[in-house]
């Protein structure tokens, strides 16, 4: 028996340029799990309206978070998570992959196959399940094995929002920040999804709300606001929106704000640009005085231990 662990996250462009954003966005926005609009309507919109313009705009945002030292933060931290986990489980083959960029899921699954891994634990790096993320990962894995002669014993971690270690990690980070400054409120911001997906049975909203409820129970003295970010397109998304909430808080007496985003385990465009840079401007322009964003779990040793525990819990 030979064991393997595969960590999977969303992906990232090769560089912060329109040239590399275009194929990345084509793959991402072309996923039916992400955009459920019928192809006859969506493909012309994607190819004729979004891809000719969006890559250049997105590249400017990525340039602001791109590291001169290691490039894409998401790629760097996902790789580090795999490296550190490998050190904890030396007898297990640990790799990482992305849904919409390199290393591709099918490519890395082929590597496990070549190494004759017989037991494979797949951890989708999304604490809360959504069809747009974990559902898409499942599609890619099943598509790879659909016509394979040999299929290893597969174990799939599809969420871990209820995990006590995960919740304690978040609560401890919040307490650490809160003890240093007299914040007025804490915003817990999750990546949003269209309301229509929830109505079709996606449990994401319920799992996000449960995450917030559990954190509130662990932090009874902190006033918490639950919001959703990263809206894309004209469809109605989960509310309240993080940016709109932040714009109104200073007028309501909230001058010092702390923000955390539990739906991300590696810092990325949504945390480093949208939350850290963009929303900071909204808050300060509205009269806010102090605005801090807690980093994602990234390469935190306790998070790496959690990944190890998750892999062992299903094997």
Phi-psi region of 41 (alpha: psi -120 to 50; beta: other; left: phi over 0): alpha
How many other C-beta atoms lie within 10 A of the C-beta of residue 118? 12
Strand ranges in 10-164 using DSSP code E only, listed in sequence order: 93-98, 119-124, 153-157
Antiparallel, parallel or unpaired: β 153-157 and 256-260: unpaired
Question: Binding site membership: which residues?
Answer: 191, 270
36-45 long-range Cβ contacts below 8 angstroms, 24+ apart:
36/194, 36/196, 36/197
Residues 191, 192, 198, 200, CA torsion sign: negative
Return the H-helix or E-strand segment holding 55: helix 54-65
Burial class (CB in 10 A: 0-12, 13-18, 19+), 207: buried
Is the bond into 271 cis (omega within 30 degrees of 0)? no
Question: Binding site membership for Fe(2+): which residues?
Answer: 191, 270
CA end-to-end span of the chain: 12
Can you read off the two tokens belonging to residue 6? Answer: 């595969």
């Amino acid at each position: 028996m030979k064991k393997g662990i595969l960590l999977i996250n969303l992906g990232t462009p090769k560089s912060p340029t329109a040239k590399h954003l275009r194929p990345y966005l084509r793959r991402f926005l072309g996923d039916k799990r992400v955009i459920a609009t019928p192809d006859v309507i969506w493909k012309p919109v994607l190819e004729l309206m979004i891809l000719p313009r969006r890559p250049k705009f997105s590249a400017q945002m990525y340039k602001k978070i791109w590291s001169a030292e290691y490039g894409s933060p998401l790629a760097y931290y996902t790789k580090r998570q795999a490296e550190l986990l490998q050190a904890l489980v030396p007898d297990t083959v640990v790799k990482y992959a992305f849904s919409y960029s390199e290393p591709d899921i099918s490519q890395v699954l082929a590597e496990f196959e070549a190494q004759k891994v017989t037991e494979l634990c797949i951890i989708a790096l999304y604490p809360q399940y959504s069809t747009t993320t974990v559902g898409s990962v499942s599609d890619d894995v099943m598509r790879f094995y659909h016509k394979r002669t040999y299929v290893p014993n597969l174990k799939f971690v599809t969420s871990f929002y209820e995990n006590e270690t995960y919740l304690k990690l978040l609560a401890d980070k919040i307490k650490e920040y809160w003890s240093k400054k007299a914040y007025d409120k804490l915003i817990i911001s999750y990546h949003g999804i269209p309301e229509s997906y929830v109505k079709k049975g996606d449990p994401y909203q319920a799992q996000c709300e449960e995450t917030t409820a559990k954190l509130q129970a662990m932090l009874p003295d902190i006033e918490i606001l639950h919001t959703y970010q990263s809206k894309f397109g004209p469809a109605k998304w989960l509310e309240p929106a993080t940016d709109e909430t932040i714009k109104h808080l200073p007028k309501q007496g909230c001058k010092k704000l702390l923000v955390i985003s539990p739906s991300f385990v590696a810092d990325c465009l949504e945390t480093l640009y949208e939350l850290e840079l963009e929303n900071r401007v909204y808050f300060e322009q509205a009269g806010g005085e102090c605005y801090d964003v807690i980093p994602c779990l990234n390469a935190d040793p306790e998070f790496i231990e959690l990944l190890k525990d998750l892999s062992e819990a299903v094997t």
